[in-house]
Amino acid sequence: MVSSNKIVKGVQVDPYTRCRHYHSDIDIIAIKFYCCKEYYACYYCHKEKADHREEKWPQKLWNERAILCGNCDKELTIHEYLELSQCPQCLHRFNEKCSIHYPLYFDI
Ligand SMILES: [Zn+2]
Ligand SMILES: [Zn+2]
Ligand SMILES: [Zn+2]
């Protein structure tokens, strides 16, 4: 499979953007953080690696492409991502349990 040519930061990030914290088959997305506009594999990766506090995406900016599918490299907007349970390009399933964590990334 294609490995990501976007730089995704984090702890033990693999080519599918899985990390030490989330590494099941469906944990394939990376998230761009509003604070630094850099991709991290997950919230905890940002906590461990970034030198600043995370900031959430304000709702008016949810048309920004801030979600990266680690399987095919497609970037989704936050709006798109919140309505999908799989990648529109490669059809890889996303982890639905991620929705518990939306408030960590997006100003819901
Ligand atoms: Zn940041
Ligand atoms: Zn992580
Ligand atoms: Zn994909």
- List pLDDT tens digits, range 8-59: 999 999 999 999 999 899 899 999 999 999 999 999 999 999 999 999 999 9
- Round to whole Å and give the CA distance between 66 and 63: 9
Percent of the chain, pLDDT > 70? Answer: 95
Which residues share a beta bridge with 75? 68
**Type of residue found at 39:** Y
Q: Which residues surround ligand 1, an ion (CB under 5 A)?
A: 33, 35-36, 50
Q: Which residues surround ligand 2, an ion (CB under 5 A)?
A: 10, 19, 21, 41-42, 44-45
Sequence-distant (6+) residues with CB within 8 A of 60 are none
The confidence score (pLDDT) of residue 83 equals 92
How far the first Cα of the chain sits from its last, in Å, is: 34
For residue 23, report the distance from its CA to the centre of ligand 2, in Å.
8
